[in-house]
Amino acid sequence: MPRSYSTEEILSKEFPELEWDCKFSEVFGKPAINDTWLIWGSSGSGKSSFVMQLCKELCKYDRVVYDSLEEGDSMTMQQSMMRHGMSDVGRRFNLLNAEPMEDLRERLSKRKSWNIAVIDSFQYTQMSYRDYIRLKEQNKDKLLIFISHAKGRAPRGSAAESVMYDATLKIWVEGFKAFSKGRFIGTSGEYTIWDEGAARYWGDPNQTMEEIR
């Protein structure tokens, strides 16, 4: 049976926070670095570009592995990495070519494995919510970031939607902007992925996050 904690124990406990660039902290605050995040959005919304920008930022703090289940080591992935200057991070970023989840699970269990894993996409993993919980429990000391397709403004599929409710950082991407919809929100709550594309989509640059939501 799990132990109980006193108020004093909880309030004095220290959690590892991500002290990242102000551009990200203003949007997403300082989230825990050993948790689960979910990023979702429709095709053409700027989701892939945001994920690559996020990976580049995370590489400043630790090594990142990206399991590209959909694109693999394709030309489009190569172009995306070139466009976002991923050569700057060197070997701190590793791409897996559509590695099955069981193989990734084994990799993550090894000593000196990556502490940050990006899985693209949740639908391609064919995981149930039970599978997700199992993976999360086996990697309590790691940051797991899942990318999901969208149906309307929600993640596509019941399992992905359940992951959204469980994730501590929930990021919705639309019109080349990323919005924090989770438990960690900074002062602005929105991140512009591509200025020109966002301006064309949203029109009024003075529109507030409340109006968008």
pLDDT tens-digit profile of 111-163?
899 999 999 999 999 999 999 999 999 999 999 999 999 999 999 999 999 99
pLDDT tens-digit profile of 11-58?
666 666 777 877 888 888 888 888 999 999 999 999 999 999 999 999
CA distances (Å), origin 70, targets 98, 108, 147, 183: 7, 20, 11, 28
Residue 67 has pLDDT above 70, yes or no: yes
Please name the helix (run of DSSP H) or strand (run of DSSP E) that holds residue 36, with its range, or none.
strand 36-41
Which of these, 47, 50, 54, 14, lies nearest to 32 by C-alpha position? 14
Strands 36-41 and 169-174: parallel
